[in-house]
Structures are given as structure tokens and as C-alpha cells.
Structure 1
Amino acid sequence: MKKGFDWGAYLAAFHAARPGITEEVLSRTLSGGHTSYRWLARAVSPRAQVVVDLACGSGAMGRELALADRTVLGVDLAESELRLADARGDGPFICADALNLPLADASVDAVVSSMGAVVIQPARALFTEVGRVLKPGGIFAFTAPTVLPLHPRDFATSLGVVTRLRSLPRFPGPTEVTGYVDALVGTGLRKVEDARERYHFEVSSPEDAELIVGALYLPTTSQKRRDAAVNWLVDRTIKEGPVRISIAMRRFVVLKQPVATRDAEL
């Protein structure tokens, strides 16, 4: 990846061309019959009445978090995603920068983000802005892809895909906890959880193979290489039946400390 790569332009073009694709994949990526959206929602107290969903995409988290007496505000920069979100859920939804939220200080009970923390950068600015809008005692919970706890047998399929892509999926930001530790310092936020779970997406048709490969951020990968990965998955389903792709996820939760402090307790 070249230094100075324009991630903003890439992400805008990606989601304009494929609105809803992230939800389409994650809604079918399961662990024990549940999605990572459900797992993330469980980190939010039922008493939280105002919740902000950063990088909300097509609104899957908002629908997961919906309660009769709760407001879930979806925030995203991609207007194509927000149009889908508005059609699928109650909102409200706003097109805004997660690093400059149009919200008052200490005005929300919780902030969540499914996959957003790996694209909203820099991390320190994200944590600072989240800390600003959270009420004392409020939480910021987000999920991000990771490596562990994949089983060694899970790597065989992933390796086959990556070998044909000749590149790994990429993100603007870190996906491991070490990438966030330093960013918490001085924000008034304290880590309270770093949990991991393994999810599975089943490829049983050419359409499934196109979907999972198409959902990956691959800014330096040619269409020829993408087609090679899709064809390899399709060939495996023909020979072996449905192919399971395992995806490890992290759920990271931080708390806005009730008493103001300059350094987060890590």
C-alpha cells in the first residue's frame, strides 16, 4: 500500500457502488445462530435511552438495538448507505463526520460501531469525540475483525482465498487492541472489555462467493485476482459442497469514567 493512499475516496466509492453489502454479509455470518450485530448490541444496557451508531451503514445495528423507549441515531458519511438505512428502519439517520458529531457534550448514553473503528481514523480523534458526547458512565462498544481465535483448520480456506487474491483485506486503522491502547490515553475513557468470538459465513453458490469477495476492502487487488478467488470458492463448492469461511471478531468496550481524569486506566 502506497504511503498517502486516499482511503476516504476509496471508501466513498466502495459504498456508493455496493450499498448494503456489509450488512448482507454480516447478517449471514453466524455464531450459535446469532450475528455479531446481536453480540455488539448485548454490550449496551437496556437502560440506555439515547444511542449513537457510528458508521451505521444500512442500519443493521439500529434495528438490533431498537427498543420502544430508545432513540438510536445512525451516523454515516455514505449517502447511499443512509438511503438504505432510512428505507429499512426508523432512524433517525444523519450524514455526518464521526470525528465532528453535531451533538452536545455529555448528551448520549452509549455509542456503538460495527466495523467502524477500523475505518474512522485517527483512533485518538475518534475516542476523543466519543468521550465528548458520552455521558459520564456511558460506554463505547465496537466490533472489528481480528485473527484470533480462528482454529488452524479455518486458515485453509482463508489461505486459499488470499493466495488467489495475492493480497490481504486492508483497513485504514488497526484491528488489534494494541492499536487502540495509546489512543485512549487522555480521552477520559477506560477499557472494560476485550472479547473475541468466531463467526462463520457459508458459501454454497456462485452468488455467495461473489458476495463474500465483493465485501472485502481490496484497494490494490485487480478484478482478475478477485475473479480467481471467486472461481476457486465456486470450484470447492462443486467438489465438496458448502464451504465455510470463518471470521474472527473482537468486541471492545470502553467506559467514560464518572470522574474526569487525564489518563485512561488500561
Structure 2
Amino acid sequence: MSAPRTDKVFAGSVPALYESHLVPLIFDSYAADLARRVALRSVSRVLEIAAGTGVVTRKLAAVLPASVAIVATDLNQPMLDQAAEVGTPRPVEWRQADAMQLPFEDGVFDAVICQFGAMFFPEKSSAFSEARRVLKAGGAFIFNVWDRIEENDFAHTITKSLESMFPKDPPRFLARTPHGYHDLAAIERDLQRGGFSAASIVNTIAARSQAASPRAPAVAYCEGTPLRNEIEARDMSRLGEATDIAERAISRQFGLGPVDGKIQAHIITIER
């Protein structure tokens, strides 16, 4: 499935909803996992790419010594603005940057971190080549990607529910992009094409996605991600209806009260 330009657009009210709804729903535990992996290494300068609203950045700032410099970048300035508004436990450098063309010299970082951003790169091997370029010898590229959508309950349920609303052209953002880059053999090939020659270490980790009500994941996915762009492109007036349909689908499968669903991701570590 080819990805339209809007798959990478996080603007308007999306950054705030992403931070308030999606971060606690699916990102927080995996962010803590990435930060722990970095903290186990000897680092003095760390780069985060596709930092979004800064959930990993905040974890890194909390666990790494104050002497470790943290540079957090994202393609979308509105996401960085939201991240800066939330703040971090100590100063970090926020910088708008395209992962395909990083504005840094060769070999200046001990680790490059990316949480659920690789799926959005239009040319994965080129982005991986850039990550490798800015790493010092022996430095690590640590990133995670979502497993297939069928292993991620709320995303799968919501995607299926919207087929009834737009049967001729259902919105497929979640399956196409966030959950569209889970083939480990393909990821390994892209890393090799990007210049990495070491063997990668892969950990597949299942976790739980929990919310106080079915409304929370419905709003998170339908209004706090580029799925919103797809829905509004079909009919600008029907975003609220789409969110209601998603909420009802979550309610039918997971109940009317607090909801609990599976999420699963792959964590990849490879050294330069």
C-alpha cells in the first residue's frame, strides 16, 4: 500500500490529542523500554529522531545523567511545539529535522533512538543510512516498530469498524503506515541497504493498552492521528460520526467501562 502525503501530517489539534490520548494509551510503556536500553549503554550524546510530542525524550531526560546531551528532532514542528510545551525534567535541544537528511556531522552521536517513526520514512534504507552516518563507531541505533495490526486490538477494531462507514474506500492509515512495517526480514534488508553490517537484536514485546472508557481509544485514533486526515478527506463533516462508530465497536468487543487490549511491537538494536 502506497502512503499518501497526509500520512505524515500531524498538525492542527492532532498534536494535543496525540499527547493527551495516544501517549498514555500505547506509547508510554514502550518509551520507558527504549530509555532503559539507552541507559544501559555508555553515552555522552544521544539523538532522537521522529520524537513526536516527546514521550521518549522525557524518559531519556529522566534516566540519563545530566551530562548526557539529548537532541530531539521531528519532521513536524507542531509536534515539537507540543513537546516543548509539556517540557522535560531537564533541558534538551529541540530541533526540526527530516530523518532523510539529518542536519548533523558524521559520527557525533553515541546512540540514535526512534520510537515508532521508521514506518513513516518514505525510503527506509536512506533514513537508516543517515542514522548510521551520524553514529560514532560502536554506537547503537535503537528503534521500535508496531507489529501487524491484528496483534494490536484497538487499532484493528477501529480500522474494521470504519469499513461500514466508507465501504467503497475505507480509511486504511493504521494498517498501511503505523502497522505496515512489521516484516522483520524486510527491516533487516533495509538496515543492510542503509550500510549496517552487524547483526541486529530483535525483541518482540507484548503489552496492554488500557483506557477509562471506549471513548478514549476512539478519540485517540480517529482524532489524534493522521487517520483524521483520511476521514476528513472523504467527508469533512463526518469526523464525529467516525469517532462514535469506533467507540461503539470498542464497546462491543471490550465492554462499556474501562477497556484493556493487547498491543505488540518489535524493538530493534543494531550497532555501527
Q: Shorter-chain TM-score: which interval?
A: 0.7 to 0.9
SS across alignment from 1:229 = helix
Relative distance call for 1:159 and 1:79 in structure 2 (3 A) is: closer
The answer for the alignment partner of 2:167 in structure 1 is none
Going by fraction, where is helix more abundant, 1 or 2?
2
CA change 1:228–1:53 in 2 (3 A) is same
Q: Secondary structure at the match of 1:200?
A: strand
Does residue 227 (structure 1) correspond to residue 227 (structure 2)? The answer is no
Q: State how far apart, in whole Å, the 1-side matches of 2:94 and 2:247 are.
A: 34
1:56 aligns with 2:51: yes
Match for 1:165: what amino acid? L
C-alpha contact (below 8 Å) 1:37/1:64 kept by paired residues: yes
**Secondary structure, aligned partner of 2:200:** strand
User: Contact (CA 8 Å) 2:149, 2:156: kept in 1 or not?
Assistant: no
Query: 96-105 vs 223-232, which deviates more?
Result: 223-232
Q: Per the alignment, do residues 159 and 19 of structure 1 end up closer, same or farther by CA in structure 2, a change over 3 Å counting?
A: closer
Deviation, structure 1 residue 61: 1.1
Deviation string, structure 1 residues 60-94 (Cα, Å, up to 9, x no partner): 11111122111110111211111122221222011
TM-score normalised per structure 1: 0.79
The aligned residue for residue 32 of structure 2 is: 38
Task: Say if 1:147 and 1:188 are closer, same or farther in 2 by CA, change over 3 A.
Answer: closer
State the percentage of identical aligned residues.
23
Structure 1 distance, partners of 2:140, 2:258, is 39
Q: Which runs of 5+ in 2 are unaligned?
A: 164-169
Deviates more, 1:98-107 or 1:168-177: 168-177
Matched, 1:198 2:206: yes
* Distance change (3 Å), C-alpha of 1:213 and 1:47: same
Pairwise CA RMSD: 2.8
Structure 1 Cα separation of the partners of residues 52 and 110 of structure 2: 21
- The AA in structure 2 aligned to 1:80 is P
CA contact (8 A) 2:205 2:266 kept: yes
Q: Name the residue aligned to 1:252.
A: 268
Distance 2:158 2:4 in 1: 25
Shift of 1:121: 2.5
Contact persistence 1:16–1:78 (CA under 8 A)? no
Q: More deviation in 34-43 or 15-24? A: 15-24
CA shift digits 1:218-265 (9 cap, x unpaired): 36445344431123334667x553221211111011110xxxxxxxxx
The residue aligned with 1:84 is 82
SS of residue matched to 2:106: coil
Structure 1: runs of 5 or more not aligned: 257-266
In the TM superposition, what are the counterparts of 1:15-26 in structure 2 within 5 Å? 15-24=11-20, 25-26=22-23
